[in-house]
Chains A and B, each alone.
Chain A
Amino acid sequence: MSRAFVKGGDAIAEAAIRAGCRFFAGYPITPQNEIPEYFAKHLPEAGGSFVQGESETASINMVFGASLSGTRCMTSSSSCGISLKSEGFSYLAAARLPSVICSVQRGGPGYGSIKPAQSDYLQATKAAGNGGFKMIVFAPSTVQETIDHIYEAFDYADKYRNPTMVLLDGVISTMMEPVVFPEPLTEEQVQAIKDSKTWALNGKKAGDKKKLITGGATEQSNMECAEMYEYWAEHETRAEEYLVEDAEFILTAYGTTARVARAVVDTLRKEGIRAGLIRPILVNPFPYKSFAKLDYSKVKCVIDLEMTIPAQMIEDVKLGVLGKAPIRTVLRSCGEVMTDDFALGGVKKIIEEY
C-alpha cells in the first residue's frame, strides 16, 4: 500500500500498471489526456508497451491484438472517441478477449462539450457496439474508488473473458484526492497471469490443434454470453444503499453526481426530511433489487439525478421501481456540473410537491 495525493487520470494509469496492465493504446481527447500521458511515461519502465494510435479505431484494435497474446491491456477515451472504439468493443466481446476500457464522459451528442458530463450511460450499459453484447460497467464516484475499480476490472475482464468498462466523468479524471494504491503485482505474477491464458495465441506447437480466435459469433456463442449476463445480474450487482430503510424520498445517482446527492441527503436529514440514496456502483448489471426491495408504503418519490439531458439512467430506475412510486429528475448537462446548491434546490422543489 502506498499513499499519494494524485489527479484522477494519473491514478487510473498507475492503478492499471499495478494491476499488471502491460499494453495501452489510445488517441488524445479531453478530458482524459492524463491517462495516456502517464502510460507513455511509466509503462515502458514497467516493461510494457504504449502506443499512441492513429485513431480510436486503430487503438482499440491494437488492444484486441494485445489481448490475443494474453497480456493485460487497456484503453481510455471520452464520448465521441468511445463511439469510434465501439467497433472494437464489439469484436472484443465476440472474440471473448479480456481488456479494460476507461470511458471518461464529456458532453454530447456530437463533439458535445469537453466539459464533464454523464452523457453516455445508455451507450455504456445497453449497446456499446453492434450485436447485443454487454460489459460489466463500474461507476466509481471518488478517485480512490476509481483506483480500486480499475484494479479490479482487470480481474473481472480475465474471469469473464470479456471487455470490462470503468465509466467516469471528467470531474473525477481531473480532480486531485488523497488515495491509497494497492500493491503492484510482481513481474512473476504478471507473467503467470499471461501464461495462465491457455486460449491465447502463441504459435501452434507440433501435435497440438491450431488456435483460432475470431470476431465472429454463432447462436451458440450468443446463448453462452446471455447465460453469462444472467449470471452477472444474479451475482455481480453492487450498490450503496444510504439511509434508505425509513426514507420517503429516494435519491439515485452514480459517479460524481452521487457524491452531490449524498450531500443533499445529509442536508435534508438535518432538516428532518427522511431522504436516502441508492448509488449503483456497477451500472451494468444494474442493481434493480435495491429499488425492488424498497418499502413503497413509505416512499413518496424517487428522484434521479444525472448530468445529462434527457435523463438516461432513469430507464433502469423505472425497471427497478416498476411504477410503485413516481420518478422525478434533477438534471444538468454538457459541462454544467451538478453543484450541491443546484441539486439541493432541485430536490427540495420536488419534495415540496409531496
Chain B
Amino acid sequence: MEKVIKRPSTIPENAISGFCPGCMHSTVNKLIGEVLDELNVVDRTVEIICIGCGTLNLKYRENDQAVVAHGRACAVATGYKRCNPDKLVFTYQGDGDLASIGIAETIYAANRGENISVITINNAIYGMTGGQMAPTTMLGQKATTCPNGRDFNDVGAPVHMMDILNTLKAPVYLERVSCNTPANIKKTKAAIKKAFEYQLAGKGFSMVEVISNCPTNWNLSPLKTLEYMKEHNLKEFPLGVVRDRGGEIK
C-alpha cells in the first residue's frame, strides 16, 4: 500500500517540538517540511532562524540552519544568498523580530529585492519573552507591558508590515495566510510553496505572513484562540494575496 501521509523528512520520528500545545508555530513548521520535500530541495536549503519562539524549531528540524541575532534574519539571509545564489534561503521570524527590532533589515532586504523568502508568524504578542506587547498587538489587547490593553493614543496602532512592503517596487510576492482552519492551512502551504518556487526561479523577494495564535500568552485555550483570532486578528489583518507579480517576471 502506498503511504499517502508521512512525516516531512526534516522532522524525524523522535523529534520533539518545543512549541506549546495548540500553537500554530508547529503547524507552519510541518508545512515548511512538506514543501521542502515536495520541491526536493532539502539538500540545498539554508534556514535563517530568528530569536523568538521560532528558535524552538532548531531542536527538531533536520535541515541546515543558522540562529542569528534578534531582528537581523533578513540581513543575514542577504549576505548568505549573495554568496550562494543557488541555495534556497528562507528566514523564519516572529513579528517582533520582523517588524520591530528588525524592521529596517526587513524593509531594505525587500527593497533590494533580495532573492529570498521570508516566513513570519504574526501572533500579536512577544511569545518567547513572556507576553509583552508586539508591534502587531491588537488595540485593546492586554499584554504584560500594556496591562490595560493597547492604547492607540499611547503606542499607536498595530503595524502592518505587508502593507509597508507593498509600497516598495521590488517585492514579487506578498501573501497573508493563517492556520486557523483546514482550508487555510492548505492555503498557507500553497503560499509557502509559491514563495519557494519563485525564489528557485530567481524571481526575487517574497514574504508569507501567517496570522497566528499564542495560547500561552493570550491566556486562552487553543480553541478559544481561534475564536479570538476570528473576532480580532483576522479583521485587523485580512487574509489574501497582497501582491503577486511572479507571472510578470521571467
Contact = CB atoms under 8 A, between A and B. Distances in A.
Interface of A: 22-23, 25, 49, 51, 53-55, 57-59, 61-71, 73, 87-88, 91, 95, 201-206, 210-216
Q: Which of B65, B69, B87 has the most chain A CB atoms closer than 10 A to its own CB?
A: B69
17 contacts: A23-B79, A53-B108, A54-B104, A54-B108, A55-B104, A64-B68, A64-B72, A68-B80, A69-B80, A73-B79, A202-B44, A202-B46, A203-B45, A203-B88, A204-B43, A205-B43, A215-B67
A265 to B, nearest CB: 45
B46 A203 contact: yes
Contacts of A22: 83
A257 to B, nearest CB: 34
Contacts of B226: none
B180 interface: no
B58 interface: yes
Contact of B79 (A55, A65, A203): A65
A25 B72 CA distance: 14
Q: Which of A22, A63, A68, A215 has the most chain B CB atoms closer than 10 A to its own CB?
A: A68
Interface string B102-116: 001101100010000
Interface in B59-89: 61-69, 72, 75-84, 87-88
B48 interface: yes
Given A202-B87, A213-B66, 9 more contacts: A51-B79, A65-B83, A66-B80, A68-B66, A201-B65, A202-B46, A204-B43, A206-B43, A210-B62
Nearest to A66: B79
Contacts of A58: 72, 75, 104-105, 108
Contact of A215 (B43, B61, B68): B68
B185 interface: no
Given A58-B105, A61-B75, A203 B80 contact: no
Contacts of A91: 68-69
Interface residues of B, number: 35
Given A62-B75, A214-B58, A204 B63 contact: yes
B42 interface: yes
Contact of A49 (B58, B82, B104): B82
Majority secondary structure, A binding face: mixed
A329 to B, nearest CB: 38
A212 B66 CA distance: 6
Nearest to A25: B79
A95 B72 CA distance: 15
Nearest to B42: A204
Nearest to A23: B83
A68 B75 CA distance: 12
A62 B63 CA distance: 21
Contact of B80 (A59, A201, A205, A216): A201
A65 B49 CA distance: 12
B204 to A, nearest CB: 16
Given A201-B46, A204-B42, A206-B43, A53 B75 contact: yes
B83 A216 contact: no
A62 B108 CA distance: 12
A216 B70 CA distance: 12
The 3 closest A-B pairs by CB, nearest first: A65-B79, A62-B79, A61-B75
Contacts of A68: 46, 66, 76, 79-80
A67 B68 CA distance: 12
